[in-house]
Amino acid sequence: MRKLISVTSLLGLIFCSTLRAETLFLDVFLNGVKVKELVQFEHDQTHFWSDDNILQTTSLAEYATGLSGRIDYCALNAIQCEYDVYTQRLYLTAELGLFPAQRISSITKNNLLPTKSSGALLNYDAYLRDFSGGVQTLDLLQQWRGFGNYGIVETTANYRHYFGNDAQSGTNQGLVRYDSFWQYNDETNMRFWRVGDMVSGSSGWARQVRMGGVKFSRRFELDPQFVRYPYPEFAGSAVLPSDVEIFINSSKLYAGQVAPGPFILDSEPTITGLATATIVTTDITGQAVSREVEFYIAPDLLRKGVLDYDLNLGVLRQNFGIRSFDYGSSTIGIADLRYGLSDTITLGGHAEVGAGIYNLGGGTDFNLANLGVISLATAYGKNEQHGGWLGLFGYRFQARNWGVAFKYKQQQQTYQDIGTTQLVLQNKREIQLNAAYSFNNGVSMGVGYFALKPFDGQSRRLLSIFYNQSFETASLSASLNWDAELSSKSFGINVSFPLGNRYRANTNVQKDTKGKMNALVSVNQARVGNQGLRWAASAVVGSGDYSVSGGWKGRAAEYSGGIYDRGDSKGYFAQASGAIVWAENTLLLGNRIADAFAIVSTGGLANVPVVVENQLVGESDSNGLLLVTGLASYNPVNIGIHTKPLPIDINVVNDRITIMTAAGHGAKVNFELYQTYAAIVIVQDEDGKPIPVGSIATINNEDSPYFVGWDGELYLERLQSTNTVTLKNGKYSCVISFNYEVIQNDIPVLGPYVCDAKEN
């Protein structure tokens, strides 16, 4: 009996000990991510209590605000727990709905600010042409531009001179001004002001007119990183830390990592039209999930909330290109507005008033559920006598390898707008249809139809079919045109193929609407790189028609010329174009500057090769300067120099600089190059042994240290004619002195010099 009581008591003690909570120190993981090490828990069967609010420092911080005191982490709502006794870890797995959405981006941000310099430039283009009959013309096109922090002042004009037989001195001879204006670009708010000559905005159905006055307009290109049109956001979720890859039409757009929870990826695909995105999520266990999303990108739409506007006030410009200062007397105002009502609907409006006319119209562009973009517009225009309506319908669809576009526009004869006052031809109806398909084997083909019915005059209906095929180095193209009103047809076939590395031949066979067959054979040599020679020669088979032309593009200008004989006309031409720039207190010559430029300085060294995006653009002149033209404003540009041809004694501080230039401005790019005045000095101790490796040296009381290498060799820079070097190694130091003479393109070896070490 006594033994039975003892056994029963022992079993009771063992049973009670299993019910008593035990203290554990565990590493805690949340959805596969370690959040804290060695957290103290009280463990009792399926319960894990802790006074530590572990989740406060995780992405579930908001959820953790509702937790306090002693927390049982295996009894929380929407969170599962698993205890691994072997690794002493507690795994918490939260439902995805508890995690906040994380936003990631595939868009590379540019932190450069646009450079605005001060200066002036002149673009010039001189063109001499000889006509049949001994008449020659000389045109000198000029574009004067001043630029600075307060904007751009610009004027464009052309001077024409006739000479030779029957000089026609009364026909557009002399100087004719084209455009003159002051313009200020506000990059921060993407808008600009212009005072002077301008062209009104375009709404898609209204005609543009030339004006003189004031313009205030949105200009999205002032910030290339701003995407005005709707682009997709790709959403997904991950239970565990995962790698995410996104492919657009099989091309990788993004690859990165995401934490557990839902995620949204901001993207900026470089394609337009219909596309398919494939989102591949691979977690840390290697399990991959793939999902496809179809979307449509329409650059002619505006993102939700984006406003575009163009406001013009002034007078009409008349006889442009004929008279320099011919303006109307009536004040007119023209306004265009577009607004992104949503990512699928864009609203637009257009208004004109002045010169006895008012015009008001509105329209919309909308994405038809990824089936393309539909455009609808209507407008009413009236003058003092009568008014009329205009209507427009359009449809555009673009897929990966095919597309179609249709436009139908009709108006009443009484419809009025300000363009009517400039005697612009009015059309009752316009129809355009274009379709194209591109195969994967380099073949593309398409069809175009154009119908025009004016109120006065003959209607036109044109049908065009084309076929293009590209091979490894050659290409073939063919076209067929049919004029329905004249019942005439024409076709052409062109074959292009290389003749060696730099030459190319073309054969073109055409049959015109009169049934005449012509075969044109031509050969040309393309320019290699940014400068050099190019030429071309062509002849019509079976006739005496020919043309020969050539050109040379150098660092300071571009020259070209040629002769031709086309049967009814023959002659020659010569052309020279370039730019003269004054900026950064420097006068430079270069090629024409359409937008932005850079002045590259190579520290006074001549003949240093300069590259833009790894393409050679020229070499620095005798002053170590080069004018680089052809740059695009508001886009980062990498400018560098080739250092391999430089002499061995030239030190290069930087060989690559990234710039971004404002529209119409230039930037100074300084590469720090200097002659090193260097030598290798061999230093020995009093026993003729090399000074120990690593000994520290200073020269001419400078702070910059040098270090002794093997065999007592010491490389020194910034040497003078007389130099003093102090060497230290531990508690010993010594001093040597020596003379130095510059040897061009070489680093001399001096010594050996004895350095008698003394204790400091």
- Asked if residue 262 belongs to a domain, the reply is yes
Q: Which residues contact 79 (CB under 8 A, 6 or more apart)?
A: 73, 92, 93, 94, 95, 98
> Whole-model pTM?
0.81
Closest CA to 699 of 676, 719, 679, 674: 719
- Average pLDDT in the 273-292 region? 90
What pLDDT, on a 0 to 100 scale, did the predictor assign at position 179?
96
Cite the DSSP H helix spans in 415-454: none
- Asked if residue 652 belongs to a domain, the reply is no
The helices-and-strands tally (H runs, E runs) of the chain is: 2, 55
What pLDDT, on a 0 to 100 scale, did the predictor assign at position 12?
40
Q: What is the CATH number of the domain that holds 263?
A: 2.60.40.3110
For residues 134 and 560, which has the higher predicted lDDT (pLDDT)? 560
**Which pLDDT band holds residue 360 (cuts at 50, 70, 90)?**
very high
Count of the separate structural domains present in the chain: 3
- Average pLDDT in the 508-516 region? 80
What pLDDT, on a 0 to 100 scale, did the predictor assign at position 5?
38
What pLDDT, on a 0 to 100 scale, did the predictor assign at position 498?
92
**Which pLDDT band holds residue 167 (cuts at 50, 70, 90)?**
low
Closest CA to 683 of 738, 755, 756: 755
Domain termination residue (choose one: 273, 297, 321): 297
What pLDDT, on a 0 to 100 scale, did the predictor assign at position 231?
86
Q: What is the pLDDT of residues 90-110, one digit of tens each?
A: 999 998 888 888 888 777 777
- Asked if residue 694 belongs to a domain, the reply is yes
- Which parts of 591-712 are beta strand (E)? 596-601, 609-612, 615-619, 625-631, 637-641, 650-652, 656-659, 666-670, 673-675, 679-684, 696-699, 706-707
What pLDDT, on a 0 to 100 scale, did the predictor assign at position 142?
96
**Which pLDDT band holds residue 237 (cuts at 50, 70, 90)?**
confident
What is the identity of the amino acid at 37? E
What pLDDT, on a 0 to 100 scale, did the predictor assign at position 20?
58
What pLDDT, on a 0 to 100 scale, did the predictor assign at position 11?
38
Domain termination residue (choose one: 64, 97, 130): 97
- Average pLDDT in the 531-541 region? 91
Q: Coil, helix or strand for 393? A: strand
665 with 146: CB under 8 angstroms?
A: no
**Which pLDDT band holds residue 126 (cuts at 50, 70, 90)?**
very high
User: Would the pLDDT of 21 be above 90?
Assistant: no
- Asked if residue 39 belongs to a domain, the reply is yes
- Asked if residue 263 belongs to a domain, the reply is yes
- Asked if residue 143 belongs to a domain, the reply is no
* Mean residue pLDDT across the chain: 89
Alpha-carbon distance values, 127 to 122, 134, 573, 613 (Å): 16, 16, 7, 32
390 with 416: CB under 8 angstroms?
A: no
Q: What is the pLDDT of residues 664-710, one digit of tens each?
A: 999 999 998 887 888 999 999 888 899 999 999 999 988 889 999 99
Q: What is the pLDDT of residues 600-659, one digit of tens each?
A: 999 888 999 999 999 999 999 989 999 999 999 999 999 999 988 888 878 888 899 999
User: Would the pLDDT of 204 be above 70?
Assistant: yes
For residues 369 and 353, which has the higher predicted lDDT (pLDDT)? 353
What pLDDT, on a 0 to 100 scale, did the predictor assign at position 301?
96
- Asked if residue 59 belongs to a domain, the reply is yes
What pLDDT, on a 0 to 100 scale, did the predictor assign at position 16?
41
User: Would the pLDDT of 393 be above 60?
Assistant: yes
Q: What is the CATH number of the domain that holds 59?
A: 3.10.20.410
Q: What is the CATH number of the domain that holds 699?
A: 2.60.40.2070
Rounded distance between C-alpha atoms, residue 720 and residue 698, angstroms: 14
What is the identity of the amino acid at 372? G
- Average pLDDT in the 120-148 region? 91
- Which of 156-170, 242-256, 312-326 shows the highest mean pLDDT? 312-326
What pLDDT, on a 0 to 100 scale, did the predictor assign at position 168?
55
**Which pLDDT band holds residue 133 (cuts at 50, 70, 90)?**
low
User: Would the pLDDT of 17 be above 50?
Assistant: no
Pairing of strands 332-340, 345-354: antiparallel
Range of the structural domain that residue 71 is part of:
20-97
User: Would the pLDDT of 165 be above 70?
Assistant: no
Alpha-carbon distance values, 705 to 292, 695, 714, 715, 756 (Å): 60, 10, 11, 11, 20
Rounded distance between C-alpha atoms, residue 714 and residue 749, angstroms: 10
What pLDDT, on a 0 to 100 scale, did the predictor assign at position 172?
67
Domain termination residue (choose one: 97, 129, 153): 97
- Average pLDDT in the 500-510 region? 88
Q: Coil, helix or strand for 67? A: coil
What is the identity of the amino acid at 645? P
User: Would the pLDDT of 2 be above 60?
Assistant: no
| Backbone Cα Rg of the chain | 38
**Which pLDDT band holds residue 475 (cuts at 50, 70, 90)?**
very high
Rounded distance between C-alpha atoms, residue 536 and residue 667, angstroms: 36
User: Would the pLDDT of 195 be above 90?
Assistant: yes
- Asked if residue 368 belongs to a domain, the reply is no
Rounded distance between C-alpha atoms, residue 333 and residue 319, angstroms: 20
